[in-house]
Structure 1
Amino acid sequence: MDNGKMMMLAGNIYEFFKSKQREILREYIDPPPLYEKSPGNYVGAVDEVMQEWFMDFLPRLVPCDVISEEINHPWHTRPDRFWVIDPLDGTHNHSAKMFFGHQLALIEDGVLAFSAIYLPLEEQATWDGFFFAAKCEGAWQHVPQGLRLLCASRQKNLKKAHLLLEGPSRGLRKQEFPNRVALEAERNHNGLSYAYSATRLAMGGLRPLGVDALIGYKGCPWDTLPGILLFEEAGGFMVTGWDGSPWSLENCGNLIFAATEQLLCQILALNMD
């Protein structure tokens, strides 16, 4: 994807989100009740409305299928070109008035070609809540002055690192590996959202106490793929499985996002003991 196409997609998607901002915030201020779709999997009206909007808008932008958790489409039979969407990442956080976002990615011939993340509360407060990336074209944040090129952290020492943990909280607390890493890191947080966490990673090098690494547990493609591209295009060293294997469309559940090679080696060593 060339720079011109990236900017066209990003501009159209940003305007789409801005056109829906008032409705998104209305649901945020007075959230409707959630219902449990499956054990531990909660869905609300915002998820359903955003899904309808995405299903109408994205195929008109790039004509192809749309896949998400709410769409009955087997992941292993996905087409060569498709959108993957998370209509509302952080449903629990949305209902609790915390961190949530909307995210999407475009896959073409098995390649993660484009992704975007929108954080409505940041956009409302500081006009800088839209992030996007394209393969080989960098990662960007829409700010009041224009566009800012994102840069991942250069932290090399786990003992000085800021670590984020993402995944089902009950299961995550029982996993030895991420807990060992959390104990080694200087700072750690969990329970945000993949959308929010990915943006903190991608701008880790732009902040004095930026985020340096993330460990994800049982993420779904719509959780992790948008953030993978944003992080890689921001110069993050690598995203791997917990065993160090390369991420792929089939291997994007239990992941390590490490800003530098040294950090990745230190994290992986804690899973080899």
Structure 2
Amino acid sequence: MKYKKELDLLKEIVKPIYEDATLYAKDVAFKGVQDIVTSTDLYIEKHLIKKILETFPNDLFHSEEYHSKTTLDNRMWIIDPIDGTSNYAADLGLYVVQIALYDQNDIALSFVYMPKFNKTYYAIKGEGAYINAKPYKTTDKNQPSNFMISMCGLSHKKEDKAYFKKIIDLSITHKYKLRILGTMGLELTLSSEGIFDLFYSNVTNLWDLCPGILLAREAGAILLNEKGEPYQLGDENLFVCKDEQALQLIKTEILEE
């Protein structure tokens, strides 16, 4: 297995670091308009970086709190210590700790820990996606269910809300079930598991995107940009489709001018 040493390290350190962080009182501060950070975010990110450097002293970092301005490069760890910080601060258990390793000009490894669900997801490029060490595919969940859509990124930060409006209208017209959970990492991970038939976001932060993107790819989801082409890092819009049904819906009712 490629990147076995890196994966084994994450399996060893992520959960204990999170648990240690939650032993301390949770301090909350604003770092922007409706944008918060907690002492837990800072503790987790700091200690993850420290532990990674002990094993891989020459590696680089791109992370939400301490290394947000670095440029993407090989052997770079991409860290979101708590994705869904607003949920976490409000004691809503919809959040994840997520990490990706960028290497050889692509996302090589991803690791997502869901504390409140006691689930760990990981993927290595070309070697599939795993949940609690068991392989899974997006299409494993094939029992009859409502068509579910999730969206992330509907906020003040970007003026263009066109695709959000289209998806809301689509959901109303077809009586689809629409969810906005407030955590890109969780929503992409659930999409990789086939829980959501369709996911959309205009978020471009690498720490939000990279872990879930690799999970979705390795689990067999279909990732597109607004041109209907395969999604690439740097694209402005991301659509994740569970299967061909969702893909055709996107092409005929969302992307069609």
User: Which TM-score band (shorter chain)?
Assistant: 0.7 to 0.9
Task: Select which of 177, 187, 197 maps to 1:187.
Answer: 177
**CA separation in 1, counterparts of 2:157 and 2:60?**
32
Once the two structures are TM-superposed, the CA of residue 189 in structure 1 deviates from its matched residue by 0.3
Once the two structures are TM-superposed, the CA of residue 170 in structure 1 deviates from its matched residue by 4.5
Which residue matches 2:108?
A: 113
Which residue matches 1:207?
A: none
Q: Contact 1:163–1:212 at 8 Å: present in 2 too?
A: yes
**CA separation in 2, counterparts of 1:153 and 1:37?**
39
Give the counterpart letter for 1:153 in structure 2: T
Name stretches of at least 5 consecutive residues in structure 1 with no aligned partner: 124-128, 205-209
Which residue matches 2:59?
A: 64
Matched, 1:257 2:254: no
RMSD: 2.6
Which residue matches 2:255?
A: 271
Matched, 1:226 2:216: no
**CA separation in 2, counterparts of 1:115 and 1:43?**
23
CA separation of 1:72/1:26 partners in 2, compared to 1, >3 Å: closer, same or farther? closer
| Residues 159-238 of structure 1: pairs in structure 2 closer than 5 A | 161-170=147-156, 175-185=161-171, 186-204=176-194, 210-236=195-221, 238=222
Matched, 1:17 2:14: yes
**TM-score with structure 1 setting the length:** 0.81
CA separation of 1:169/1:74 partners in 2, compared to 1, >3 Å: closer, same or farther? closer
Name stretches of at least 5 consecutive residues in structure 2 with no aligned partner: none
CA separation of 1:47/1:73 partners in 2, compared to 1, >3 Å: closer, same or farther? closer
CA separation of 1:245/1:119 partners in 2, compared to 1, >3 Å: closer, same or farther? same
Identity %: 23
Give the counterpart letter for 2:231 in structure 1: W
Aligned to 1:243, the other structure's residue is in SS state: coil
**CA separation in 2, counterparts of 1:37 and 1:168?**
19
Higher helix proportion: 1
Task: Select which of 91, 111, 132 maps to 1:97.
Answer: 91
Aligned to 1:214, the other structure's residue is in SS state: strand
**CA separation in 2, counterparts of 1:176 and 1:155?**
30
**TM-score with structure 2 setting the length:** 0.85
Aligned to 2:167, the other structure's residue is in SS state: helix
